[in-house]
Structure 1
Amino acid sequence: MKRNKILLVDGMALLFRGFFATSFRGNFMKNSKGIPTNGIYQFMRYFLDAADKFEPSHVICCWDMGSKTFRTELYDGYKANRDAPPEELIPQFDLIKEVVEAFDMPNIGLESFEADDCIGTLAKSYAKENEVIILTGDQDILQLVDTGIHVAIMRKGQGNYEVFTPDNFYEKKGIHPRQVIDIKGLMGDTSDNYPGVKGIGEKTALKLLQEYETIDNLLENIEHLSKGVQTKIKNNLDMLHLSRTLAEIKCDVPVSCSLDEAVWQYDITKVQTKFEELDFQHLSKLIKTTV
């Protein structure tokens, strides 16, 4: 029996990437109602290209549902460094979901959790009997690479992906996928705004994990570390544990989506009607041969 190939799309990653890739010149594109559409337009270009390349049998799109999550409850500095989204992007959040719906693709999101947690939960559940490919620009998601789960990281330029699999991961990264969580526990994450262990950067974190494999094992052997590293870890022990918790994608959140609802098949007329409403005539040319 042919295994299904399920494409899980990190909606936020594509929308933000699409918005900033086109807006830096002040090109927000607007439809006839004056609503900015540049993020949606570029999202669709990225997405249709990926659907063409990876040829999924099923597609699901996952979203953040607001900035308050269990991670902000644990640490109020989490992502607190981020600016509010530009005003031209705000109306595009709801509108992109309508476009996704026009393709009969499920939009999945859950209050108090991030899109990553939904992606992780669905990926683990589907990978038991199917192939899963996750489309994102977010390196955090690399921790999910596993048997049956590949991650396609979007690189600069359209149609340019770096695909991480269980077979090539160590060669590319020098660690195993699960160690991504521990490396972020040690070095923190500036984009998500948590510090890890003050004074330990990527190089040291990588070296420690290559030697000791996990944070737990590292702590059990702490007396073997250099005095400087010992001091840093002991002084930041609580933040080390907290950072590791913040870094870990939860793969057991209460979301599910029946594959019957996610078959990659759409009504061209419905999609074209939506594209016309947004003045995306050019994109209509890309959809006829996609499915």
Structure 2
Amino acid sequence: MTIMLIDSASLWYRAYYGMPDTLLSPKGEPINAVKGFIDMTARLINHYNPDRFALCLDGDWRPSWRVELFAEYKSNRLDEAGEEEEEPDLLTPQVPVILDLFEALGFEIIGADDYEADDVIATLARRERGPVRIVTGDRDLFQLVDDSSDIKVVYLAKGISAHDLVDKKWIASKYQIPGERYGLFAMIRGDASDGLPGIKGIGEKGAAEIAKVFSSMDEVIDAAQNSHEALKESHRKKILADLKYAKVAAKLTSCADDLRLPKVTFEIPSAIKDLDEVTDVATEYGLTTSLERLKAALRWQ
């Protein structure tokens, strides 16, 4: 029984930027993110036919425990007052509509205090049996790919129509590394979108060279400290110069997969949970056509 885990924020951002903001409700309110989210969900369900489904949320987009490990974590997303940069004005009011609508439809929505959606997804991917399809536009989740457990990432960087289904072979081909070592590769390379510099001066090519030889950051640090013959001298010096980051990188960038999440089935409902609420939302926001597409994908009468 395939479970589809949605990185919800990633999906609604892509819906928002992928649909024209001229899409309005009967009252003139923007609905491009809502409509796009519904339509993208319908297409994903049509394509992958999952039996179970969950919308995964950030309980905290910048968890305190990660900031304690590395103060610069996602600091690039803070405004001058040290607060989270606001979402685009036209997106913010659409998020509650998406969540309320999918709750009324009967889908599970799950998050955890002081953890990111990535951590929720990692915990569910580890816990749930059966094929797992993780829907995201975020490369961070490539670290969860596991062919033996049939965990793959539906990667939306190029949109729904041209999405990639990421497995170990895809990772190996894309980055020239063993498919199971994406996590280590990413720790060394860094990720500017999360304010993570990686090991300064090594870059993507150097990170791939290191990940071909070593399987963990502990091994890399040990190799640098003991002048391992397989580690370039230039890389060794850069690792030792950035040892503070290197020592916290694994805990900082690895998805936490041991959260205490509620035990629910995540089964897709066979009919709308709250028909009156869904009807009201569809009428108020002009979403009838999109909801009909979703109902057709779900084979609801």
Q: TM (normalized to structure 1)? A: 0.88
- Counterparts of 1:43 and 1:73, CA distance in 2: 34
Partner of 2:87, secondary structure, is coil
- Does 1:255 find its partner at 2:255? no
Residues 123-143 of structure 1 show CA distances to partners (whole Å, capped at 9, x for unaligned) of: 1100xx311111111111111
Q: Residue 122 of structure 1 contacts residue 256 of structure 1 at CA under 8 Å; is this kept in 2? A: no
| Greater mean deviation of Cα atoms: 168-177 or 279-288 | 168-177
Alpha-carbon offset, residue 46 of structure 1:
1.0
Match of residue 234 from structure 1 = 240
Which of the numbers 251, 274, 283 marks the counterpart of 2:290?
A: 283
**Aligned twin of 2:53:** 59
Out of 83, 98, 101, the position equivalent to 1:99 is 101
Cross-structure match for 1:244: 250
Please list every run of 5 or more consecutive structure 2 residues that lacks an aligned counterpart in the other structure. 78-84
Fraction of identical pairs, as percent: 27
Matched with 2:80 is: none
Equivalence for 1:18: 15
Distance 1:201 1:172, change over 3 A: closer
Q: Counterparts of 1:148-187 in structure 2 under 5 Å?
A: 148-166=150-168, 168-187=170-189
Alpha-carbon distance in 2 for matches of 1:54, 1:231: 47
Tell me by how many angstroms 1:55 deviates. Answer: 0.3
Q: Deviations over 1:167-194 (max 9, x none)?
A: 5543444334542221122121101001
Q: CA offset at residue 232 of structure 1?
A: 0.9
Partners of 2:190 and 2:283 in 1: CA distance: 45
Relative to structure 1, the CA distance from residue 248 to residue 6 in structure 2 (aligned partners, 3 Å threshold; closer, same or farther) is: same
Say how many residue pairs are matched: 282
- Change beyond 3 A, Cα 1:264–1:10: farther
The 5-angstrom pairing of residues 4-83 of structure 1 reads 4-22=1-19, 27=21, 29-69=23-63, 70-82=65-77, 83=85
RMSD: 2.2
Q: In the alignment, what sits opposite 1:267?
A: 272
Q: Distance in 2 between matches of 1:31 and 1:287?
A: 18
Q: Normalised by the size of structure 2, how large is the TM-score?
A: 0.85
CA distance in 2 between counterparts of 1:228 and 1:153 reads 34
Runs of at least 5 residues in structure 1 that lack an aligned partner in the other structure: none
CA distance in 2, matches of 1:166, 1:183: 13
State the one-letter code of the partner of 2:272. Answer: D
> Which amino acid letter does the alignment assign opposite residue 122 of structure 2?
G
